[in-house]
Amino acid sequence: YLRMQLKVRSMPPLEIECMGVVVRCQRYEQAPEEGGPERYAVGVQFTHIHQAERERLIHYLFKMQRQLLRDRKAARESMSATR
pLDDT at 82: 78
DSSP 8-state secondary structure symbol assigned to residue 38? P
ω before 12 within 30° of 0 (cis)?
A: yes
What is the spatial order of strands in the sheet that 40-48 belongs to?
A: 2-8, 14-27, 40-48
Weakly modelled stretches of the chain, pLDDT under 50: none
pLDDT at 66: 97
What is the C-alpha to C-alpha distance for residues 24 and 43, in angstroms, rounded to an integer?
5
pLDDT at 35: 75
Cβ-based neighbour number of residue 16 at 10 Å? 18
Cβ-based neighbour number of residue 67 at 10 Å? 10
pTM listed for this prediction: 0.70
pLDDT at 15: 93
